[in-house]
Structure 1
């Protein structure tokens, strides 16, 4: 019981001299990596640079203590940052005091949603969000991120709050006013980052590239040529803050906070499970919900904005040899010490250099490999991908998430509402005459008895499709009067499905034959028996195996018809033919 409230007690016994050493090294690596990322993410969110670093100090500690993953690193992320900017920029000017207050309130509300989901044990909800939605939303957000940096990279004027399309129109109209000094700094930072990553992969390439970009801006004369600098960040730990708890603000932000909460949970749990497949660790989705929720609630009182799991930092944390969540705590501590020491140096960091770094971050977010795989694999998933992607670019970001999830659920429900109904027949070429799917191999069928297998559950959504399919079989084959359903793949039958089976039994009986079930799962059979449905279908119509069913049903076929039938696909047919001749 104590471990449920204090989940860090579960992994605390793993802490020892060796694990602490490994976690210290992993934490140091994580602190170096998150330094440029935190600044970049805060700028994407429309916040002062230090707020990204505050988020990277507070949220990882709380999430590590109250989550379930050994390697997940929480903090500011690209997708959450752009959703925060898109949401709050409609209500206040980015960077203003009102903007900061609303961001803190949004963070608090998102954390409350996430904590409530975790306490309600809704951790499995993220399993119903299609992977295509996440891939498409991330790709769309990445393009929005890169588009938002064009004014910083090109040095052209673009009004605040412009849409994706209008931003590109403005860029086209301002193309003759590009500041080539700013462009030089941005491209120098971008190209150097790529070179550092290529030839010095073990070093923090983003940090080195920003230092290089700062040196280039100093050589070019910086502000004398319109190259604006980030400015000196305050050299202190995250200050206390207070979200706006007024009824009007909460009512205004509650719907938008739900989208932020949902996106954060999807990111965190997906990343935790992805890393867990390598570390062979079991992830408790409900506990992750609680950890993410508490991290955002606590963070909102320490000048932090909404955070989630970071794929880059979590992956590097695992690769760096982290053993326990202490690595996340060490990373936050090292980051705090770093800020206290080097904060004055940010006064020389050009915004154009940050723009170049953010272009790389945005490009790396686009998962070209999975996008290509989705397009090749499924038309339905491609539709989800395309709708979510376009909605992300041209509509509100929270609506894009809802649209993608809704469309993926529609396709899911459509698939489950149309269970695969397979026609079977015995294969004479096999020694034991196994029943074979006629889609795989053309085989003759009995004119009076059709054997089918239903691959799916019989619930209220699948009743209409299943019933109409069975009736079409009868319409196509007038001599057909008996129907045997191989029910082993049917995992679930609800009241509507049971009533449909009763109606079908009456229908086939009226045709002079009957409906039969074989191989029902024990729980399904108990349900039909408890509800009295088997009484109406008929106990004599229930069988445990196909062989037993065929032997019994054959006795109920019209024997005069069997005498003239030349197909003789069952063993019983041949025995009857030999007896009559």
Structure 2
């Protein structure tokens, strides 16, 4: 840890040669992401200014503590939607306080994950689960903004239901709101096709704001009710000062613990994608666990300004790099530039039309769709495709804080079922002139004959039960010798021990004998502790050796000698 701290402190020294590039990259990020941060706060159903406060604090703090030099820790659509879902039952007057508690818990969970070096936990969330979840999030973002885009606020809470309700009530849409929203949407799409695509969001938001100001003049008032178009200022005034520090209320800690765990996992997985996708300047990939710690520190800091959850942002990281970022100072400066924008341009931010922010989020939602990844998973096999589909549906129709956990549960259950059905038992037929020939295991053991069995697949409890049904029957056999090869098995469960014990007892009842070949030392100890080694006989168990086939050949000699004596 001391070495890591020394490395971190050393990397914070700004290099004069990099500073100009980092200033440009940081300023670019601040200008582009202020409207996005406001939109992300809306996804969490809180004051848009809280998204800006998050950028001011989380981005520089994350830059200081992460292992990744380039990782941008900021607001993301997935985290904001998950936070909004977690706070859905909280009354509006208490939501900001509840958000602070949620973000505090997320920060603590991520800090602990980093301190205990739990970077490996992301392996338990499969690509199929995450693809289904992120695609579900993207669809929810698109559907969830249709009301703000059109001015029709449905009475339903579920985004899918609200979209269907809108489709049935198109006569209720507000024409001026829809015009501003569609104009912004079209402008974003057009600018994205040009060399100015990096500034597509900010240019479209600025154009929509100016257009609404012009159309709101008395000259145009007689045409349509442009005053009905909601702006950010209609939701809440943006303070002209930097955020005050606020202590999160501890009263909601326990009720928000499970949602915080889900939000933390989402953030860590997204951050791990950045860690593994963007190597540091020295060519080495960042330490995932320390990136966990950095994201936790960022959220902990954000909670004291009532910010929304922050996490490793792939789009933010890509933007900084494309703008010329050279060091972690690009992120630190980005946070400082956001603070300047808040102090200087707060009155302008209040004039931003809400349908324009909705259009921005719809484009962001579309960009978040992982269509190619979904196609790859769909072609891979039934199990990953099923896991992806179930997670996608769970994301659409159940609270988001549970959707990832449900997806992981689906993944585990289907994986276990798949592994249990992939156990195969084959027979190795010995040939004096060369290598053994592999063929399907016999259904019944031949009497007074040596049968060598090879087992493929997992031997956990469910698979062990299937294995028992696949072993050749003994009932109509006498004096059969069976060698079961276990090379490569470093552990056997209690269910497999029970299966071996029963098979050994059945063989003995029919005057047969069981031999085990290629037994690992750990497996040998398990056999001894369970008493099975004594039942099979120490002389019938042959430990694995570095030389391939040596244990099996020794077992074959012993089995043939036993048969000769019968």
Q: Tell me, yes or no, if structure 1 residue 423 matches structure 2 residue 426.
A: yes
In structure 2, what is the equivalent of residue 408 of structure 1? 411
Structure 1 distance, partners of 2:506, 2:270, is 50
**Contact 1:426–1:433, Cα closer than 8 Å, also in 2:** no
Q: Deviations over 1:534-570 (max 9, x none)?
A: 444333333442444434434444799xxxxxxxxxx
Q: How does 1:194-213 map to 2 (within 5 A)?
A: 194-200=189-195, 203-213=198-208
Q: Deviations over 1:251-291 (max 9, x none)?
A: 33223222222222222223322334998534433323322
Q: Tell me, yes or no, if structure 1 residue 399 matches structure 2 residue 402.
A: yes
In structure 1, what is the equivalent of residue 514 of structure 2? 515
Q: How does 1:296-335 map to 2 (within 5 A)?
A: 296-320=299-323, 322-335=325-338
Q: Tell me, yes or no, if structure 1 residue 189 matches structure 2 residue 184.
A: yes
User: Once the 2 structures are TM-superposed, how far is the Cα of residue 103 of structure 1 from its aligned partner?
Assistant: 0.8
In structure 1, what is the equivalent of residue 106 of structure 2? 110
User: Once the 2 structures are TM-superposed, how far is the Cα of residue 154 of structure 1 from its aligned partner?
Assistant: 1.3
Structure 2 distance, partners of 1:449, 1:320, is 71
In structure 2, what is the equivalent of residue 92 of structure 1? 91
| SS of residue paired to 2:473 | helix
Find 2:377's aligned residue among 374, 379, 389: 374
Q: Deviations over 1:430-455 (max 9, x none)?
A: 9852554659xx9xx98844433334
In structure 2, what is the equivalent of residue 233 of structure 1? 238
Structure 2 distance, partners of 1:3, 1:146, is 45
In structure 1, what is the equivalent of residue 346 of structure 2? 343
Task: Extract structure 1 runs of 4+ deviating beyond 6 A.
Answer: none
Structure 2 unmatched ranges of 5 or more: none
In structure 1, what is the equivalent of residue 485 of structure 2? 486
Q: How does 1:401-550 map to 2 (within 5 A)?
A: 401-417=404-420, 420-425=423-428, 432-433=434-435, 435-436=437-438, 448-470=449-471, 473-474=472-473, 481-498=480-497, 500-525=499-524, 527-528=526-527, 533-543=532-542, 544=544, 545=549, 546-550=552-556
Find 2:125's aligned residue among 102, 126, 129: 129
| SS of residue paired to 1:252 | coil
**Contact 1:68–1:288, Cα closer than 8 Å, also in 2:** yes
**Contact 1:101–1:242, Cα closer than 8 Å, also in 2:** no
Q: Aligned-residue CA RMSD in angstroms? A: 3.4
**Contact 2:191–2:197, Cα closer than 8 Å, also in 1:** no
Give the direction of change, closer, same or farther, for the CA distance of 1:496–1:99 in structure 2 (3 Å limit): same
Give the direction of change, closer, same or farther, for the CA distance of 1:346–1:489 in structure 2 (3 Å limit): same
Structure 2 distance, partners of 1:437, 1:331, is 65
**Contact 1:453–1:485, Cα closer than 8 Å, also in 2:** yes
In structure 1, what is the equivalent of residue 8 of structure 2? 8
Find 1:286's aligned residue among 272, 289, 305: 289
User: Once the 2 structures are TM-superposed, how far is the Cα of residue 172 of structure 1 from its aligned partner?
Assistant: 3.2
**Contact 2:23–2:333, Cα closer than 8 Å, also in 1:** yes
Structure 1 distance, partners of 2:211, 2:430, is 77
**Contact 2:140–2:160, Cα closer than 8 Å, also in 1:** no
Structure 1 distance, partners of 2:329, 2:434, is 60
| SS of residue paired to 1:251 | coil
**Contact 2:12–2:328, Cα closer than 8 Å, also in 1:** no
Structure 1 distance, partners of 2:436, 2:22, is 58
Structure 2 distance, partners of 1:449, 1:279, is 59
User: Once the 2 structures are TM-superposed, how far is the Cα of residue 477 of structure 1 from its aligned partner?
Assistant: 8.8
User: Once the 2 structures are TM-superposed, how far is the Cα of residue 202 of structure 1 from its aligned partner?
Assistant: 5.2
Structure 2 distance, partners of 1:418, 1:281, is 40
Give the direction of change, closer, same or farther, for the CA distance of 1:511–1:207 in structure 2 (3 Å limit): farther
**Contact 1:163–1:394, Cα closer than 8 Å, also in 2:** yes
In structure 2, what is the equivalent of residue 270 of structure 1? 273
Give the direction of change, closer, same or farther, for the CA distance of 1:212–1:511 in structure 2 (3 Å limit): farther
In structure 1, what is the equivalent of residue 39 of structure 2? 40
User: Once the 2 structures are TM-superposed, how far is the Cα of residue 187 of structure 1 from its aligned partner?
Assistant: 1.5
